[in-house]
Structure 1
Amino acid sequence: MSEQDPRLGLTVTHRRYVPYAHAHYAGNLVDGAYALGLFGDVATEVCIRTDGDEGLFAGYADVRFVAPVRAGDVVEVTARVVRVGSRSRTLELSCAVVCRGRPDKGDSAAEVLDPPIVAVTATGTVVVPASA
């Protein structure tokens, strides 16, 4: 292609409160699969916006769990299109904790994290149907 594909750089962001029902480990930790599920949600919106189809996740590369996600957190999950193939799209994915509970200050105390804590990063590949 002589011109840059307009889909490159498209960024989609979702925010979600992490419910206590998802805590599986001591310290109200949530398993890493929780973030991967959120990556699937944000990638679906990317496919809808770029190709008018929900697409399918084909795989992950370089998944890194770098900080904990806990019940009571608010996470921000972002996908950015970094490569466009004929049927595939490569996405840079991140999950960052933007708010966190502060049980040391009270049962329902919480704070906004500035800066957010990046908890999970990955590269993902999605596929979409061939163009009509």
Structure 2
Amino acid sequence: MKVVHQRYVAYSDAHYAGNLVDGAYSLKLFGDAGTHLAIVGDGHESLFAGYSSVEFLAPVRGGDVIEVEARLAAKGTRSRTVDFELRVICRSIGESGRAEVLAEPIVATRARGTGVIPADLVEENQ
């Protein structure tokens, strides 16, 4: 099971030289996609317990178009292990407003995390 979100990265989200967006931007979007996955899978937003790994592999820049995927990797009684990936699918070209659709997406961020559903939800579904 997976969900995919796509969005434009505004230039106002860039905080560093070269129009770079900070890594926290990816993690916020992972939280949104993880919540969506939990609703689809369990009918509850769940509570995020933490990340076991995070890798920043390539830059995300203002003007890019990205997609974020949350994929269920494992399902315990209450815990859900989720793999996340953020890919740049369109890259901005300078600050001119021009951009190109990439032939191959650039994997910018990967992570693995764990969400937990409430105990009473497990009891209701048994």
TM-score (structure 2 length as normaliser): 0.93
Q: Report the more deviating stretch, 33-42 or 14-23.
A: 14-23
Match of 1:116 in 2: 105
CA–CA separation in structure 1 for the residues paired with 2:73 and 2:44: 18
User: 2:41 corresponds to which residue?
Assistant: 50
- SS of 2:55's partner is strand
User: TM-score when scaled to structure 1?
Assistant: 0.89
Contact 2:63 2:97 in 1 (8 A): no
> 1:92 corresponds to which residue?
83
- What is the root-mean-square deviation in Å for CA atoms of aligned residues? 1.0
Distance 1:85 1:119 in 2: 28
Partner of 1:24: 15
Runs of 4+ with deviation above 3 angstroms: none
| Structure 2, unaligned runs of 5 or more | none
Separation in 2, partners of 1:36, 1:20: 18
Shift of 1:62: 1.6
Q: Partner of 1:120: helix, strand, or coil?
A: strand
What is the alpha-carbon distance in structure 1 between the residues aligned to residue 100 and residue 64 of structure 2? 9
**Counterpart contact for 2:30–2:68, Cα < 8 Å:** yes
Equivalenced residue count is 121
Gap runs ≥5 in structure 1: 1-9
Name the one with the larger helix percent.
2
Distance 2:73 2:92 in 1: 33
